[in-house]
Amino acid sequence: MIDLKPALLCIGRGRPNETRHGWLLINDPTVSRHHANLNWVPEQNAFYYEHVSQTNPSRIDGNLIRTSQDLGARNQLNIGTHIYLLERKAVDVEPPPSEAETLGAAQPPDSALEYTLQLLPNGFTEFLKKGEANTLGMGVHVNWDPFTNGFVLKVTPGARATLSRNSDQQDEARAVSGQAVLENGDVITVDFCQFRFRRSTPGSTNTETIKLAKDSDSLIRGFSQVKLVGQGTFGQVFHMKDHAGASVAVKFLSPHLLLNEEAQVRFKNEATVALSLKHNRLLRVFDVGEAEDGRMYIMSEYLPNGTLEDKIQKAGKLPTMAVLKVAHEISQGLEYLHAQNLVHRDIKPSNIFFRDGQAVLADFGIVKGSDLMTATRSGFTAGTPHYMSPEQFRGFTEPRSDQYSLGAMLYEMLAGRRVFDAPDPIALAYMHVHQAPDPLLPQCPGAPEMLCLMIEKMISKKPSDRFANMQAVKGAIEHIAKDIKKRARR
């Protein structure tokens, strides 16, 4: 029998005889590390059940639960292979426990605590603020949660992060889906970086190890910062101006990656490749270097007119000639890139900018050589799942992989929806590898049949079923545009 207190109770998988305050731990392989929460609602004087796991189910009174459900005076909970009977009894209810009781030990008042994240092994320390979203990577944040009176790690669908806890006997990292309440000493792994979460009294943090990144306003001599215009997993992009008022875009390696060797190698690769490329349909890069705080940067032209993603979000479906125009311009850039024996590997609407009304391809952070010997086999697959080719999910790329991604982007422009859509990258991978896309023509009344067939050929599952190269794609685009103009003159 378990006496439930009117407070948050986390439910998850644990080892035999393992205890953790505030948790109901179940030794059952069919229970997730963080399976569910029992949340106390004072206004209703009752609990509600919040299902957290994305892989293992929960049932209440025999019914499958996917999100949350209010609990009554008597419910049967099926968690893994275990069955619990929740029953309200007529006994005196104790008042809600204090934070000190919830944590299992006396703690100073919250106003006397400070919360930090330190980049491991000996990197800079950042003080966490309750009113802000503290970003660790794309879709990974540490936020203050007033309900639990603590910081929680939040991971959005499609993002990846793991958490290891000192109380775990083997310090085993577990993947986090949704959110997890952070405890003192927890280690969060995001991308290539590890951060240790600390809760301490002011003055107990070793401030000699703190190295906060400088404001980018004075990082490059002769340039001043205007505003932050973009942020990703690896970098931050600022609009900056020189003394004459000329605008540039400057991409810095993210501060939390200053000590990460693999991230620095990847950023250097992007800088080297970008500086070497000279083509009108590719972003113009002027300079690469090292800023005052030691961060590498890439300085390029500033293109303020938005991205293709902005146009798609605003308009939904784009006109046929607009689709053909972007397709032709990006195919030119890719033809040049492939001639240099390079594969972009991340063709998507947010990487397409506009210069004087013409499309420009940007972001060379994961460009690789096109031979199979340089393919990605590092345990994770580079790219953006909604636009990745089947072979890219399997860990290798070639020039026709870019063709697939371009085709997926054109499909979205013409149909107003993505080829495949799912919140889970694993589900997206299955769709791209195994599932046939919906035919384009029924979704696009009035669109040329030749254009629909061209795009469907570009997103064939097998590279051998696609066009032989970007020159052939460009030729098909030109033929379709010419045919449309010819028909219009009749």
- 94 in a domain, yes or no? no
Return the pLDDT at 6: 59
Q: What DSSP designation does 257 have?
A: G
Return the pLDDT at 94: 45
Tens digit of pLDDT for each residue in 305-330? 999 999 999 999 999 999 999 999 99
Query: What order of strands is seen across the sheet that includes strand 162-164?
Result: 125-127, 114-119, 193-200, 187-190, 162-164, 174-175
Element holding 434 (H helix, E strand) = helix 425-434
Those residues with Cβ within 8 angstroms of residue 302's Cβ, 6 or more apart along the chain or in another chain? 239, 247, 248, 249
Bridge partner residues of 24 (DSSP): 11
Pull the structure tokens for residue 157. 């669908």
- 98 in a domain, yes or no? no
One domain for residues 348 and 475? yes
Tens digit of pLDDT for each residue in 174-228? 888 788 888 888 888 886 677 888 887 665 444 333 333 344 455 788 888 888 8
One domain for residues 198 and 254? no
- 4 in a domain, yes or no? no
Contact between residue 236 and residue 254 where contact means Cβ atoms under 8 Å apart: yes
Among residues 187, 209, 231, the one where a domain terminates is 209
Element holding 287 (H helix, E strand) = strand 285-290
Count helices and strands in the chain by DSSP H and E runs:
9, 28
Pull the structure tokens for residue 136. 């660790």
Return the pLDDT at 367: 55
3 in catalytic set: no
Helix crossing, 470-489 with 320-339: angle to 10°? 150
One domain for residues 351 and 438? yes
Number of domains in the chain: 4
One domain for residues 345 and 426? yes
d(CA 408, CA 348): 8
Return the pLDDT at 443: 95
d(CA 238, CA 217): 9
Among residues 209, 241, 265, the one where a domain terminates is 209
Q: Among candidates 315, 269, 317, 279, which has minimal Cα distance to 418?
A: 317
One domain for residues 168 and 289? no
Return the pLDDT at 457: 98
CATH number where 176 lies: 2.60.200.20
One domain for residues 183 and 67? no
φ, ψ dihedrals at 223, nearest 5°: -130, 145
The three-class DSSP label of residue 132 is coil
- 176 in a domain, yes or no? yes
One domain for residues 383 and 422? yes
- 101 in a domain, yes or no? no
One domain for residues 267 and 401? no
One domain for residues 128 and 247? no
- 400 in a domain, yes or no? yes
φ, ψ dihedrals at 36, nearest 5°: -165, 170
Return the pLDDT at 58: 86
CATH number where 271 lies: 3.30.200.20
- 47 in a domain, yes or no? yes
Pull the structure tokens for residue 119. 């980049």
φ, ψ dihedrals at 449, nearest 5°: -60, -35
CATH number where 315 lies: 1.10.510.10
Those residues with Cβ within 8 angstroms of residue 236's Cβ, 6 or more apart along the chain or in another chain? 216, 228, 230, 251, 252, 254
Query: What order of strands is seen across the sheet that includes strand 285-290?
Result: 223-231, 235-242, 247-253, 296-301, 285-290
**Taking the model in full, what pTM does it have?**
0.59
20 lies in which domain range? 9-87
pLDDT < 50: residue spans in the chain: 91-109, 167-170, 204-216, 369-381
One domain for residues 337 and 373? yes
Among residues 175, 209, 243, the one where a domain terminates is 209
- Catalytic-role residue among 186, 191, 346, 363: 346
Tens digit of pLDDT for each residue in 329-373? 999 999 999 999 999 999 999 999 999 999 999 987 555 544 322
Return the pLDDT at 184: 86
One domain for residues 320 and 437? yes
Show the 3-state SS of 45-101. CEEEEEECCCCCCEEECCEEECCEEECCCEEEEEECCEEEEEECCCCCCCCCCCHHH
Helix crossing, 320-339 with 399-415: angle to 10°? 170
Contact between residue 141 and residue 2 where contact means Cβ atoms under 8 Å apart: no
One domain for residues 137 and 240? no
Cα 6 to Cα 23, 92, 97, 103, 204, distances in angstroms:
14, 12, 8, 14, 33
Return the pLDDT at 395: 83
- 93 in a domain, yes or no? no
Element holding 440 (H helix, E strand) = none
